[in-house]
C-alpha cells in the first residue's frame, strides 16, 4: 500500500545522483591531523564548536592565517573557527576548485554531459569568488555543498538560516531563471525583506546548502536517512554561530524534515522554526519535536506537496502534516506564494511573514485563518 501511494504521488520517480570528482576530504584530514602548531596537535575536524572556538581564540593572528592557508578545506568548514577566517579559507578552496574545473573544461576526453557539467561548475565557482560573497562553508566534492552569508554575521542581532530541500547542490544553489526557488535567491530575498521590516535591526541570513539533499523526489526524499545526517550538520552550525543573537530557521520542503530531526538538539538561542511546503517533520505533533522554539507552518493552496501521503510506515514518509490543526504549529498565511517553490518571492505574504519572524516582530505576522490564533502565546509548541 505504501509503495502504491508513493508511486502515484511521484515520490519514486526522481533521478538518481550522478558521479562527481574524487573526494579530497581524506587527504585534507590526514594533512591536518599530522600538522603541529608550536608542538601542539590541532583539534579534530569533528571537535565540538566550543572547543574549536577556544583553540582559535588562543592563537596569534599569524597562526590563524597560516592554518587557513595551509588547510583551507578543513578551516573553511570547521564549525567554531572565526567567521572571517572561514571566508578566507573558502576563497582559497574555491580558487583551487576553479583551476581544477578549467582543466576539465579543456579535456577533450570528457563526454558532452561531462563537459557541460564542468563548464557549469566553473561558472558557479567564478560567481562565488565575486568580491562581495561571504562563503561560510564550501566543499566541491561529490555534488557539492555550500553555505553563504548575507549581512554581517558577527555583529547581527538576529540571524536567519534558510534550509532548502531536494535537489540542492552546487549547480542548483543559484539560478537566473526562477531565482527565488534556489537557496541563494531565498536567502537574498529574505535578507532584503527583513531589512524592510525592521531597518534598525542588524540582521544576517545564511543560505545553508551545506548538507547532502535527496536528488529528486525518489526514495531518499521519502525517508529520513539524509535528513538525519543533515540535522547533525545543522545543529553544529547553530552551536558555532558567533555572538548571542537569536536565531530563526526557515525550512522549505525536505529541509523541514532536517529541521524536525534537529529540533530537540538545537541550542536555546534558536527561538523559531518555520516550515513551508513541508512533507512532515518526523514528529506527530509540534510538542513531540521537544523544542523550546516556536514552531510555525504554512502551505500555499496550490502547493503539490499537499498530495504527498502524510504517513510514517516502515521508515517511509515523514509523519503528520505540519499545517494540520492536530499537529499544533502556528499557522501562517502564505498568500501569493505561487505553489511549492514560491514562498520566498518578493511581495508575497509568505515572505513578509518569514521576515517578521526573523526580526522578532511576532505581533505583525498574519495568520492562516481569519483570527490571530498564530500570534497567541498559547499557540504551538512554545
Q: Decide if pLDDT at 18 tops 70.
A: no
Predicted confidence band at 23 (pLDDT cuts at 50, 70, 90)? low
Residues 209 and 299 in one domain: yes
Instruction: Give the pLDDT score at 50.
Output: 96
pLDDT digits (tens, 9 = 90+) for 206-256: 999 999 999 987 888 889 899 999 999 999 999 999 999 999 999 999 999
Query: Which of 142, 162, 182 delimits the end of a domain?
Result: 142
Residue 220's domain is classified under what CATH number?
Answer: 3.40.50
pLDDT digits (tens, 9 = 90+) for 255-309: 999 999 999 999 999 999 999 999 999 999 999 999 999 999 999 999 999 998 8
Look-up: residue for cell 573526494? 23
Query: Which of 142, 161, 186 delimits the end of a domain?
Result: 142
Residues 171 and 78 in one domain: no
Residues 4 and 132 in one domain: no
Residues 2 and 48 in one domain: no
Q: Which helix (H) or strand (E) holds 195?
A: helix 183-197
The count of structural domains within the chain is 2
Predicted confidence band at 379 (pLDDT cuts at 50, 70, 90)? low
Distances (CA, A) of 240 to 27, 107, 167, 264: 25, 40, 26, 17
pLDDT digits (tens, 9 = 90+) for 52-92: 999 999 999 999 999 999 999 999 999 999 999 999 999 99
Query: Which of 142, 174, 194 delimits the end of a domain?
Result: 142
DSSP 19: P
Q: Are 137 and 147 in contact (CB under 8 A)?
A: yes
Instruction: Give the pLDDT score at 347.
Output: 97
For residue 3, what is its C-alpha cell? 509503495
Residues 163 and 207 in one domain: yes
DSSP 18: P
Helix, coil or strand: residue 127 = helix
The mean pLDDT of the chain is 92
Residues 79 and 228 in one domain: no
Print the domain residue range for 365.
Answer: 1-12+145-382
Residues 380 and 252 in one domain: yes
Predicted confidence band at 187 (pLDDT cuts at 50, 70, 90)? very high
Instruction: Give the pLDDT score at 309.
Output: 86
Determine the angle formed by the axes of helices 349-358 and 183-197, rounding to 10 degrees.
70
Residues 131 and 181 in one domain: no
Look-up: residue for cell 496550490? 302
Residues 151 and 136 in one domain: no
Residues 353 and 305 in one domain: yes
Look-up: residue for cell 481569519? 370
| Sign of torsion over alpha carbons 54, 57, 62, 65 | positive
Residues 168 and 123 in one domain: no
pLDDT digits (tens, 9 = 90+) for 110-122: 999 999 999 999 9
pLDDT digits (tens, 9 = 90+) for 130-154: 999 999 999 999 999 999 999 999 9
Amino acid at each position: 500500500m505504501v509503495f502504491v501511494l508513493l508511486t502515484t504521488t511521484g515520490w519514486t520517480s526522481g533521478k538518481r545522483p550522478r558521479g562527481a570528482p574524487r573526494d579530497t576530504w581524506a587527504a585534507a584530514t590526514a594533512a591536518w591531523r599530522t600538522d603541529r602548531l608550536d608542538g601542539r596537535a590541532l583539534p579534530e575536524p569533528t571537535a565540538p564548536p566550543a572547543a574549536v572556538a577556544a583553540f582559535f581564540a588562543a592563537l596569534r593572528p599569524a597562526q590563524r592565517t597560516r592554518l587557513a592557508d595551509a588547510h583551507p578545506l578543513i578551516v573553511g568548514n570547521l564549525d567554531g573557527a572565526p567567521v572571517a577566517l572561514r571566508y578566507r579559507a573558502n576563497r582559497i578552496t574555491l580558487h583551487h576548485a576553479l583551476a581544477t574545473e578549467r582543466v576539465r573544461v579543456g579535456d577533450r576526453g570528457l563526454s558532452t554531459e561531462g563537459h557541460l557539467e564542468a563548464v557549469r561548475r566553473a561558472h558557479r565557482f567564478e560567481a562565488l569568488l565575486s568580491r562581495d560573497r561571504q562563503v561560510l562553508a564550501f566543499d566541491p566534492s561529490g555534488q557539492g555543498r555550500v553555505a553563504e552569508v548575507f549581512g554581517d554575521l558577527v555583529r547581527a542581532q538576529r540571524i536567519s538560516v534558510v534550509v532548502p530541500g531536494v535537489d540542492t547542490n552546487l549547480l542548483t544553489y543559484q539560478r537566473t531563471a526562477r531565482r527565488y526557488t534556489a537557496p541563494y535567491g531565498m536567502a537574498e530575498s529574505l535578507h532584503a525583506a527583513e531589512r524592510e521590516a525592521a531597518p534598525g535591526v542588524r540582521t544576517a541570513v545564511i543560505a545553508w546548502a551545506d548538507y547532502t539533499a535527496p536528488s529528486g523526489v525518489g526514495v531518499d526524499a521519502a525517508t529520513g536517512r539524509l535528513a538525519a545526517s543533515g540535522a547533525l550538520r545543522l545543529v553544529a552550525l547553530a552551536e558555532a554561530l558567533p555572538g548571542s543573537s537569536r536565531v530563526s530557521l526557515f525550512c522549505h520542503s525536505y529541509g523541514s524534515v532536517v529541521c524536525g530531526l534537529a529540533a530537540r538538539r538545537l541550542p536555546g538561542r534558536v527561538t523559531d522554526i518555520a516550515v513551508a511546503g513541508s512533507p512532515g517533520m518526523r514528529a506527530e505533533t509540534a510538542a513531540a519535536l521537544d523544542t523550546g522554539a516556536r514552531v510555525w507552518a504554512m502551505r500555499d493552496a496550490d502547493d503539490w506537496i499537499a498530495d504527498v501521503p502524510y504517513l510514517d510506515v516502515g521508515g517511509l514518509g515523514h509523519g503528520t502534516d505540519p499545517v494540520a490543526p492536530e499537529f499544533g504549529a502556528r499557522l501562517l498565511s502564505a498568500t501569493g506564494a505561487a505553489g511549492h517553490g514560491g514562498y520566498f518571492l518578493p511581495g508575497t505574504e509568505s515572505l513578509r511573514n518569514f521576515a517578521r519572524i526573523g526580526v522578532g516582530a511576532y505581533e505583525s505576522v498574519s495568520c492562516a485563518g481569519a483570527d490571530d490564533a498564530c500570534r497567541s502565546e498559547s499557540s504551538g509548541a512554545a
